Amino acid sequence: MHICAGTGAGSVVTELPRETYRTDLDAAYEAATARVIEAWSGCMWMKVGEDRADKMKSVCDGALVRDGVVRGFAEVKGQRERAFGEFPNFVTSARKVRKLQAVHELFALPVWLFTYFGTCGSVAGFDVVEAFEEVPGWGRRDRGSAGDIEVGARYLWKQLRIIGTLDGIVPSVAEK
């Protein structure tokens, strides 16, 4: 995907890593997950940046704020069609984890990656400083996007902490 900023000699063309696939249902699940994170952390969730297909996304989805002070950052990933523990291990993008680790190093604040599991309603997460095993050639193959295949970061289920459930706040979007 190419994005052109400006016109003429000063134009900049940026190659985005891949298409952004985000639906209204994804946004609703992220918002519901943010409410679970707020209850668990005792902090207010503040959305960071925008989720637009034509722009680079923020590294983190939200900042956790209490008493006017940022206490940490969080990224939300979705497993709408999966249950907690369904696979032998939990795998996510190693590139994403490394970017989140850089945020941790830059701000010296906790950075969490949370995942909602749609079929069981669990919300679980881990601090990005947790060790992981690299998985070459990991990713989705159902969308036909070469950008979906990358190095994965494999975590053991015991590294993920269940912080709550989407019970009662599961999004009611007709797209489901």
**Which contiguous run of DSSP H or E holds residue 50?**
none
> Of 73, 155, 56, nearest to 109 (Cα)?
73
Q: What is the pLDDT of residues 50-85, one digit of tens each?
A: 766 666 678 899 999 999 999 999 999 988 778 888
Euclidean distance between CA atoms 28 and 6, whole angstroms: 33
Cα 161 to the chain's mean position, in Å? Answer: 16
**Token digits for 35?**
């409410």
Contact 109, 69 (CB under 8 A): no
Q: What is the pLDDT of residues 130-176, one digit of tens each?
A: 999 999 998 877 777 777 789 999 999 999 999 999 876 655 433 34
Euclidean distance between CA atoms 110 and 90, whole angstroms: 20
Q: What is the pLDDT of residues 14-30, one digit of tens each?
A: 444 445 566 888 888 89
Domains of the chain: 21-165 (3.40.1350)
Alpha carbon dihedral 117, 32, 111, 52, in 10-degree steps, equals: 100
pLDDT at position 144 is 78
Euclidean distance between CA atoms 126 and 112, whole angstroms: 5
Neighbouring CB atoms inside 10 A of 123's CB total 26
Euclidean distance between CA atoms 86 and 34, whole angstroms: 23
Contact 170, 122 (CB under 8 A): no
Contact 20, 53 (CB under 8 A): yes
Q: What is the pLDDT of residues 87-124, one digit of tens each?
A: 888 999 999 999 999 999 999 999 999 999 888 889 99
Q: What is the pTM of this model?
A: 0.80
Cα four-point dihedral sign 7, 12, 15, 21:
negative
DSSP for 113-172 reads EEEEETTT-EEEEEETTS--EEEEEEE--SS--GGGEEEEEEE-GGGSEEEEE-TTT---
